[in-house]
Chain A
Amino acid sequence: MNGSRLLPGLLTLCLGAILARALAASLGFSHLLLAIALGFVATNTVGVPDRLEPGIATHKLWLGGGIVLMGASISLETVLEVGGPVLLLVVGVTTTTLLTVELLARNVFGLADRLGSLLAAGASICGVSAVVAVAGAVRAREEQTAYAAATVLLFDAITIVVYPIVGDLLNLSGTVFGAWAGVSMFSTGPVVAVGFAHSEVAGQWATMTKLSRNALIGVVVLAYASYYAREAGGRRPSVRTLWDEFPKFVLGFLALAVVASAGVLSSAQLNSIENAYNWLFVLAFVGLGTEIRLSDLRNTGATPALVVLLAFLATSALSLTVLLAVF
């Protein structure tokens, strides 16, 4: 990593984070959503200069680091107590979303198979990273990958605004709102942002359920790679794909949850770790905002967006109903 190349962008992220905090304190609005808004406004008005790009692109690293540190705030006892039903819901919603998008894309709207599969992976697992992972495994064409990624980004932008409003209107508890965002929204960054914007509890539930979904990426990539390889008469992919695609920061998150649950860290240390992940999230979300470019969203095709919208509405409503019944 060339430090001097990254420094201007990193300083910009830090300035954005401090500004978001200051504005949040005076406006009484979520600092995380304000951080995304600052990045979004900057990139869509003045644009991001080339020399800032490398530093700003590190925002995914800070998001991952923040998620690892969040492990210290998670009670393993709570996870074990309610983890079973939530895990079932995660697998159920993921499978339903994936199959619904595939069915609508292939049988109702007649989209190309691979484009349908990319949309299904992006909507059901972890947004753009799932699109890219599956695109590599099924040898999708570049424009199909760009189309699917733009569709996912469009829904990320919409859900960042709509979910907090619906959460407030329905007066959802932190647990229900967090788990709902975690099982039904697309990309990890927006899920964590709206979760913590609602409440600390919602943020933790949103992250935990989203990480459970992300952990399924290896299985989905393996399944798609096997399906398309068989269709083309090629070699079947190895089980090693499961490990290669597994999001490794989930392991860091779990390791820290075990360490913190063992009582090794003092309350002052836990408080510092919590402050550290809050700062990392604000940094990450300023960068995330710069990725929401209106020009990219205009590339979304109407049909792929409609396919994802129908599947999203169905699974979002279904998961909220189940969560309200369970909690």
Chain B
Amino acid sequence: MSIDGWQPATGTVTDRWRDLERDWQSVLVGAATVALVSLLELQIPW
């Protein structure tokens, strides 16, 4: 798949993100972090 094929998909994701209200965006931030930590075993240092 050429890089051009990614652009419409990126646009759709960006539009959907913008349409979400901030509270739901916060839930997505939390869900994405949990997914990264649990599925990819990402270690986050402090």
Contact = CB atoms under 8 A, between A and B. Distances in A.
Chain A: interface size category: 20 to 34
A200 B41 CA distance: 24
Between A252, A268, A280, the greatest number of chain B beta carbons within 10 A of the residue's beta carbon is seen for A252
B35 to A, nearest CB: 11
Contacts, number: 76
Between A248, A264, A268, A275, the greatest number of chain B beta carbons within 10 A of the residue's beta carbon is seen for A248
Contacts of A1: 14, 17-18
A54 interface: no
Contacts of A93: none
A317 interface: no
Contacts of B29: 61-62, 64-65, 68, 280
Given A64-B22, A69-B34, A273-B37, A248 B27 contact: yes
Contacts of B34: 69, 72, 256, 259, 273
Contact of B27 (A249, A264, A268): A249
B21 to A, nearest CB: 7
A274 B46 CA distance: 9
A265 interface: yes
A65 B23 CA distance: 9
Contacts of B30: 64-65, 68-69, 71, 249, 252, 256
A209 interface: no
A248 B23 contact: yes
A252 B31 contact: yes
A67 interface: yes
Contact of A252 (B22, B27, B38): B27
B5 interface: no
B10 to A, nearest CB: 10
Contacts of B37: 265, 269, 272-273, 276
Interface in B4-25: 14, 17-18, 21-25
A269 B18 contact: no
Interface of A: 1, 60-65, 67-69, 71-72, 247-249, 251-252, 256, 259, 264-265, 268-269, 272-276, 278-280
10 contacts: A60-B22, A64-B22, A64-B25, A64-B30, A68-B29, A69-B34, A251-B27, A264-B38, A268-B43, A276-B37
* 6 nearest CB pairs, A to B: A64-B26, A68-B30, A65-B29, A252-B27, A248-B23, A275-B46
